[in-house]
Amino acid sequence: MEGVLVLDKPPGMTSHDVVDELRRRTSRRRIGHAGSLDPNATGVLLLLFERATKVSRWLMGLDKQYVFTIQLGIETTTHDRWGQIIRSSDLDNLDERLIGQAVMSFRGRYQQIAPAVSALKYRGRPLYKIAREGGQVPIKTRLVRIRSIEILDVCLPMVTLKVDCSSGTYVRALARDIGRQLGCGATVFCLRRTRIGPFDVEMATSLDDLVSRKVDLSKIMLSIDRALGYMPRVTVRQGRERAIRMGKPPEIDDLVNPDEIPEEGDFCLVDSEGNLIGIGHNQAKGTKRMRLDRIL
């Protein structure tokens, strides 16, 4: 049994806790995930079984969608309501127009500083472990992209938003930055990831249903082929598959439909019967300088 499972993570568990639980339940050791969620967050978590762990990087890099509620008027150490309050402010001068202007100012690309309590690593150690020990380290800014952001509801001090963003965006940091833009502080009150790339929360299975065996894991698991279905597919000519499976980078003459290769980026290599061989990458626009990034 191998493939990708779209899970609706419950609150109160780390992503690794979920992996450990499924390892116990399925007696399979080779399980991973494609992008962690905060322990108190819920929503889409992609779990990878067996060979699917080899494609984690291509799933981790997909855009994300979140629905989240922020509480205005406070800022905390963790940028969510489970941290210690470090500043507070009244909201007397705030109205929906000012909130809307501040929120919409984050559309597009911006340099974001990740929370000090996060899974990012500094010299090999997760930031949250350093923070627990009372340590402080410099955190570099990262360029993130807010593709769209929408206010769903305002009931002060609470504001509920929906955001579509690039991989690597921290919603807690976005909430912090919105609060600072408004001058009153803000922190995440609740957070739900509703989509990763094409994987919507409506596709997700609950952990309770898996644990209670209400669903058959083998029937809801997505094949690696289907999980990578968002990528262009390029067919390798008969007789050339073995060389590529042995690690040879693809060349134009190896391929049936080279026009399907993206100008720059990743694509799936399949044999004449549509079976997945590997993942290739075109390295520069206007060229067909390809490399083989993964053999499957």
Burial string for 167-189 (b: 16+ CB within 10 Å, else e) reads bbbbbbbbbbbbbebbebbbbbb
Among the listed residues 38, 177, 254, 266, the single catalytic one is: 38
Taking residue 101's Cβ as centre, other Cβ atoms within 10 Å add up to 11
For the question of residue 38 being annotated catalytic, the response is yes
Q: H or E segment at 22?
A: helix 15-26
CA angle, 165 then 167 then 173, to 5°: 70
Which residue numbers are catalytic? Answer: 38
